[in-house]
Structure 1
Amino acid sequence: MNRCPYHATCKLPADCGILQPIWLTCEPPTEAIRLIAAVITCLLTVINCYNVKWATRVQDIFTGTKILALIIIIIAGLYALFAYGSPNFDRPMSGSTVEPGYIALAFYSGLFSYSGWNYLNFVTEELKDPYRNLPRAIWISMPTVTTIYVLANIAYVAVLSQDELLSSSAVAVTFGEKMLGVMSWIMPFSVACSTFGALNGAIFASSRLFFVGARQGHLPQAIALINVKRFTPIPSLVFLCIITLVLLIIKDIYVLINYLSFVEGLFTTFSVSGLLWLRFRKPDMERPIKINIIFPIIFFIICLFLVTFPCYVSPWEVSVGLIMIVSGIPMYFIFIYWQNKPRWIEKASETLNLLCARTFMCVLEDQPAA
């Protein structure tokens, strides 16, 4: 494989990804990558603000593209495995670190690949017959995605050596260069489509999380506003977009994944512990969707493992994640919980609400349009 004449760590074309046509002989600068990420984030935010159906169509199209690319990888990899064999399965775990903390961090990266597993729970209000369709969607999607991802990883290991897997910044692109020949351009395109679709799904679901939090009084009321024509939570989407753009200052994607995974794992642990507490203390409470208690118990144990063991292996990322969480406590008590606030704070909040309402043509859900 050709190497970049200016960067010793850049292997062309795999590491240059979708920007390869612009930087033919060199690794694209970080600023260009950040700019493209910012532009795509803003574009998808606009689509989600404009129309929910557009957002779901974008999701369907790019998810289908990603699945098609994975099927190509699976077929090519399994063909290579059965036709020529592969020595990579002789000792697949050689050189692995078995320390629990590093295993937990490895799970962070693995869980990031499956990070859409809980997004459907955020949009139950927009589902038709959620008590019936939510469990059905979970039971269909999770086994399907897991099967496809596992087979894709088997295909990767069958074709690529351990060194190639570890040194590649885009394994699918490296796989395409080795197996698809003149059609290898499919992989960079598919990786871009996969990223595009994943970001769209995250924006669609996470904005609803902020929206509901604000509606329940845990965030400023302005984020709970909804557009009177489009029926989309535009202030929540814009708020999420701003946070995303700020986080682009972080260069190392794995550090960002560790931040995200630790914070998400911690709050998931709290949520599951609350579920278990309610199941034991209030067993007769009405539960439209109820599963066997063994599943949340196993999930709780796994969450505890993922939250506790990285603390000594990656203390910096864990500390930053905790600081992010703790920083919200004084903000909550000052702006949300404190009832007898000074008049200037209340006036500033009212001004923000009015500004968002006028700018985005929004009202609260239970208020009629003016």
Structure 2
Amino acid sequence: MGEESQNGDGKVVLKRKITLFNGVGIIIGTIIGSGIFISPTGVFLNTKSVAASLLIWLFSGLLSTLGALCYAELGTSITRSGGDYAYIYTAFGPLPAFLRLWIALLIIRPTTQAIVALTFGQYVAKIFFPECEPPQNAIRLLAAVCLCILTAINCISVRWTMRIQDVFTSSKLLALVIIIISGIYYICAGNTENFDRPFEGEYSAGNIALAFYSGLFAFGGWNYLNFVTEELQDPYKNLPRAIWIAMPMVTTIYVMANLAYFAVVSRNEMMSLAPVAKIFGDHLFGGWSWLIPVFVALSTFGGVNGVLFTSARLFATGAQEGHMPAFFSLFHVDKQTPIPSLIFTCFFSLVMLTTSNVFDLINYFSQILWLSVGASVVGMLWLRRAKPDLPRPIKVNIVIPLLFLIAIGCLVIIPAITNPKDTAIGLAILLSGIPVYYLCVKWDTKPDSYNKLSTGVLRFLQKLCSCIYVESLEKLSA
């Protein structure tokens, strides 16, 4: 029996199958992926201070919560799936929205998926290479296997995807609870030497911003439920509820986990670039230390699943608006999964696996990511003025988006001054979307050969993947 439904016009639309529990699972499951197991090193490398690192983790959680509250207003006033893309489209029109989609396609989503998958590969490989560094090619191969398996599952069933998300979310929470309890016990036993001179470190505006990039990367995913609001049951109530449940949980868990890490792992070990959770396990669990890489692998597996699920819906929404090739809007006739979009997303993520330095990847894409998030929140404030009658079941205090935008301004501007090369590359990729937009989207009188090729590819994928068009419940409007 198919999972699609029909609206009053007889068009095929998405059925709301994601519950509040699923929504909390998507947020927690996507946030707690690879970040908490690799970002502590990235934060500490840029501060060299235990206390400053813990404060950055706390402020990263608070900043992410402010952003999530802004997105609760956006997600309940613009209930279309697509997240940032849908909000920028509604506020500023098609060209800025296309540019957001363009950088998501080329940078943000493939890089995010590659980072989490590489972390999965690194910890799985550590199980087989406990005494030495695992080969980089083995890490890449394991990451590729993870991406391909989860893409296949996402293609087969939405329900199976949600079950994986729920189960692996529970697994990763269990892993972090074990780390936190073990760390607190270690501290209570009097082992506090790692907290001597906690504020001793190296501070500069550029390094603090990069430290926040690592911390905020670990919180990445707080806005991912907004990408699937059309499939969320009762989004007006469940979207903000999911945020209020998930964000305090994650912030508390992250700060406590880092406290446990710093109690057990020395400064020199933290700077060695070795997997911090693996070092933690080796110190405390002896012969059972292999359990930590297993739990981390389970955690990152669920993280990749959540990113894949929401990425495919983002590109499908763009295709429904004519901003992506039409085949992205194809969903399987029975399974109601966006198979072409999932395959394409997986392919670009596999391309990103050519590098295995996750910290370079984090710094590379973070600036562009936060620029797009800031544009969405500016759009929210603009819509309050331009469309005051737009239904707003949730309306946050004006202080919240202003504080959030000030923080984002620092995150974008400071690295642009201290590391102009990466900024220039990111902006070049962003601006390269302008001619693509006018050639492939805006140009109405395309040659017949182009139209025939596009139609041929579309029909081929329809037959190959047994797909049909799925109409959105509502269209975007500028």
Shared topology, TM-score over 0.5?
A: yes
Partner SS, residue 271 of structure 2: helix
CA deviation string 1:85-109 (max 9, x = no partner): 4122232231232x22221111111
CA deviation string 1:273-331 (max 9, x = no partner): 11111123433322233222221111111111111111132333222222322222222
TM-score by length of 2: 0.71
CA deviation string 1:162-193 (max 9, x = no partner): 11112142111111111112221111111111
In the alignment, the residues of structure 2 paired with residue 298 and residue 315 of structure 1 have an alpha-carbon distance, to the nearest angstrom, of 25
In the alignment, the residues of structure 2 paired with residue 255 and residue 327 of structure 1 have an alpha-carbon distance, to the nearest angstrom, of 22
Q: Please name the residue that 2:172 is paired with.
A: 66
Deviation at 1:16? 6.6
Work out which of the two has the higher radius of gyration on C-alpha atoms and give 1 or 2: 1
Q: Please name the residue that 2:464 is paired with.
A: 359
Matched, 1:335 2:440: yes
Aligned length: 352
289 and 364 in structure 1: CA distance in 2 versus 1, 3 angstrom threshold: farther
Give runs of ≥4 in structure 1 deviating > 4 Å. Answer: none
Deviation at 1:122? 0.6
Which of 180, 190, 193 pairs up with 1:87? 193
Matched, 1:321 2:426: yes
Whether contact under 8 Å (1:227, 1:234) holds in the other structure is: yes
Matched, 1:53 2:159: yes
Partner SS, residue 164 of structure 1: helix
Whether contact under 8 Å (2:461, 2:467) holds in the other structure is: yes
Matched, 1:148 2:258: no
Q: Please name the residue that 1:102 is paired with.
A: 207
Give unpaired runs (5+ residues) of structure 1. 1-14
Instruction: Map residues 303-314 of structure 1 onto 2, 5 A cutoff.
Output: 303-314=408-419
Q: Please name the residue that 2:144 is paired with.
A: 38
Deviates more, 1:357-366 or 1:121-130: 357-366
Matched, 1:277 2:395: no
Q: Please name the residue that 1:75 is paired with.
A: 181
CA deviation string 1:115-143 (max 9, x = no partner): 12111111111111011000000000000
Give unpaired runs (5+ residues) of structure 2. 1-120, 473-478
Higher RCO (CA-CA < 8 Å; seq separation 6+): 2
Amino acid at match of 1:144: M
Q: Please name the residue that 1:127 is paired with.
A: 232
Percent identical among aligned pairs is 49
Q: Please name the residue that 2:244 is paired with.
A: 139
Matched, 1:203 2:311: no
In the alignment, the residues of structure 1 paired with residue 132 and residue 122 of structure 2 have an alpha-carbon distance, to the nearest angstrom, of 8
Instruction: Map residues 178-189 of structure 1 onto 2, 5 A cutoff.
Output: 178-189=283-294
Amino acid at match of 2:141: L
Deviates more, 1:226-235 or 1:314-323: 314-323
In the alignment, the residues of structure 2 paired with residue 83 and residue 188 of structure 1 have an alpha-carbon distance, to the nearest angstrom, of 25
16 and 130 in structure 1: CA distance in 2 versus 1, 3 angstrom threshold: closer
In the alignment, the residues of structure 2 paired with residue 314 and residue 354 of structure 1 have an alpha-carbon distance, to the nearest angstrom, of 46
Q: Please name the residue that 2:217 is paired with.
A: 112
Deviation at 1:54? 0.8
Whether contact under 8 Å (1:168, 1:174) holds in the other structure is: no
205 and 34 in structure 1: CA distance in 2 versus 1, 3 angstrom threshold: same
Deviation at 1:208? 0.9
CA deviation string 1:313-369 (max 9, x = no partner): 2333222222322222222221111111122222222122112211111111149xx
Amino acid at match of 1:40: C
